[in-house]
Amino acid sequence: MKILYLDISVFFANRDMLDALERYVDPDGNHLDIVKLKYEYDESRVRHDDAFEESFIKTIRNTSPDFVFSFNFLPIVSKVCDIERVKYVSWIYDNPEIFLYSFRVINPCNIVLMFDSKQYETFKNGGIKTVEYLPLAASTRRLDAMVPNRQQTERFITDISFVGSLYTERKQYYEEIAPKLSPYTKGYIDGLIRAQLQVDGMNFIEECLTPEITEEIQKVSGINTYPDSAETLEYLFANFIINRQATIIERKELLTLIGEHFPVRLYTYNQNKAFSPPGVQNMGPADYFEEMPYVFKLSKINLNITLRSIQHAIPLRVYDILGAGGFLLSNYQVDLARHFTPDEDFVYYEDRKDLLNKIDYYLKHDDERMAIAQNAHNKIKEAHTFDVRVKQIIDIVKERKL
């Protein structure tokens, strides 16, 4: 079987996926024939790109692949694959992912693998026949090979760590529009955020945006839907503005709260260096491949505070923590509790008081903590590696008729 693989280096899972594809052997002992095509990911060109379209058609005709693969859905790739009648497998890596709402998602060439079961159910129930549910994965082969030496141990060993964005280093839509909103609308949104932060496992922001609130946000933001897409303004505002603001508030408040009781290390972008409340040691960024696995291995407790627009899914961070053999303390996520067992493979907190209580408990109970981390690592190695996912993807491709 021949795969035309769009090699997109900005996606962290790219390297592990390629490694798994190159190692795959079918029951008859055959390897995959992988044709790699470097693709420079640019959001401004994934819908329309005449030059790429022309060259990509030639590439497909010259290579005759059984299917094309990329992380995230690229409408321009789907367009060409539909013309050439070649299957296009895209594995969704982000949520929100605006390009999923392109009209091209219904092209019969598509096999769209969604990592968020809630998003999958929404599309499936909406009559979209090109979607499948497939969670993300970890490379235990790579992670297990990273055994910390004395220098790495001294550098990264700690009690509590959080690795992730604060989203203040990116475009802050809400901060830009808030001064322009009426007191009523700003109060409504602020109240909505506070209500949402009391609830894990479901997100109600989008359905709570009334036509009047939506109209005012649109007026002050100037954001509009794409003409070739089916997303609503409510979806855009809920996920790109309000849920992102909720995540900014939540991550800062939780880290500040933890820092008042326990020392915690924060690994984040350099642009967030100013955030360093008492008890929080801002370490700057950790390289995904060279440093992050050691953080996970050498932290007694690894925190996960999920981006609020990821409704049910297991973020890649979680797979990397568990795949590295780290102990995970997370907010509640439906898919996480579906694939792993709470208090056996990971621990989740129900509220802020519970978060502090569980940090205190597991810092004092090393044997329980390490047993939970080992259970999760074993489960990842058995059922959630990129090797496992590649086999699942190949099976899906074989079953899907074009």
Contact 385, 20 (CB under 8 A): yes
% of the chain at pLDDT higher than 90: 94
Q: What's the structural domain count of the chain?
A: 2
Residues 19 and 129 in one domain: yes
Burial state string for 337-355 with b = 16 or more CB within 10 A and e = fewer than 16: bebbeeeebbbbbeeeeeb
Q: What is the pLDDT of residue 402?
A: 86
Residues 21 and 32 in one domain: yes
Sign of CA dihedral 284, 288, 294, 297: positive
Q: What is the mean pLDDT of residues 371-390?
A: 98
Task: Give the model confidence (pLDDT) of 131-145 as tens digits.
Answer: 999 999 999 999 999
Neighbouring C-alpha atoms within 13 Å toward the C-beta of 344: 8
Residues 194 and 64 in one domain: no
Residues 94 and 229 in one domain: no
What Å distances lie between residue 190 and 167, 238, 243, 369, CA to CA?
17, 12, 11, 37
Residues 132 and 65 in one domain: yes
Contact 72, 53 (CB under 8 A): no
Task: Give the model confidence (pLDDT) of 40-91 as tens digits.
Answer: 999 889 999 999 999 999 999 999 999 999 999 999 999 999 999 999 999 9
Residues 82 and 149 in one domain: no
Beta-carbon contacts of 231 under 8 Å, excluding residues fewer than 6 positions away, are: 98, 101, 225
Residues 157 and 306 in one domain: yes
DSSP one-letter code for 272: G
Beta pairing class for 299-304 and 328-330: parallel
The amino acid sitting at 230 is A
Three-class DSSP category at 337: helix
Largest CA distance in the chain: 67
Residues 160 and 264 in one domain: yes
CATH number of the domain that 186 lies in? 3.40.50.2000
| Residue 317: both structure tokens together | 């961070």
Residues 74 and 117 in one domain: yes
Q: What angle do CA 290, 149, 377 make, to 5 degrees?
A: 65
Residue 169 has pLDDT above 80, yes or no: no
Residues 71 and 177 in one domain: no
Residues 214 and 335 in one domain: yes
What Å distances lie between residue 29 and 24, 25, 33, 64, 66, CA to CA?
9, 5, 13, 22, 18
Residues 78 and 159 in one domain: no
Contact 308, 246 (CB under 8 A): yes
Domain housing 92: 2-137+385-399
Task: Give the model confidence (pLDDT) of 321-340 as tens digits.
Answer: 999 999 999 999 999 999 99
% of the chain at pLDDT higher than 70: 100
